[in-house]
Amino acid sequence: MDIVLKYFADFTEKQLQQFAALEGLYKEWNEQINVISRKDIDSLYLKHILHSLSIAAVIDFKPGTEVIDIGTGGGFPGIPLAIFFPEVKFHLADSIAKKLKVVQAVADAIELKNVTVQHTRAEEIKGRKFDFAVSRAVAPLKDLLQWSNPIVRRGNGQELPNGLICLKGGDLAAEISESRARPYTVPITQLFPEPDFEQKYLLHVTKEASGR
């Protein structure tokens, strides 16, 4: 937890309690349903929670913002962001039901009132719109844009325009070229200078810039 407090302050007592509870909850659930690599579970706060919060380091979502987490898996980046932004609505979607069982249990245990979960693929969501889609190492950028574009509404009322914010790693040149997008790209080591974040990036593509 110290690694989170190294970069962020001004949490309420409830937020501190919620973040502190995550380690025990994920370790307990991971014994039943493997949602986090066993080699990473002891680095939960660095590799999963702080990594997720890199989104909070580049945008301060306004109260009432609606965000969908595409392919949330074990709840990343959605759960840490929901703790960080208690006035923002997060909808966590995944196609694997057993992972969502963990997500719902964690959200219930720490009394996260601003999280909903849905067992679905993003491309199957109908009749709902969000201000942002977020995602973490789920699929190529081209696919993420194809899935998110129909469910993200246009808007420019925040620090970043409405669109897709995703966390990715490695050499992204070919993936970006194939997507035909021009993402705003931030090396995560600029936000958090930690060796584990070398070759990891935050990408933002506005709704208008997605070319679809």
The annotation places the binding site for S-adenosyl-L-methionine at 71, 76, 122-123, 136
Residue ranges for the binding site?
Answer: 71, 76, 122-123, 136
Residue 136's DSSP bridge partners are 167
Determine the 3-state secondary structure of 205 from DSSP: strand
155-191 in b/e form (b: 16+ CB < 10 A) is eeeeebbbbbbbbbeeebeebbeebebebeebebeeb
Q: Residues 6 or more apart from 13 whose CB is under 8 A from it?
A: none
Angle between helices 13-30 and 97-109 (to 10 degrees): 140
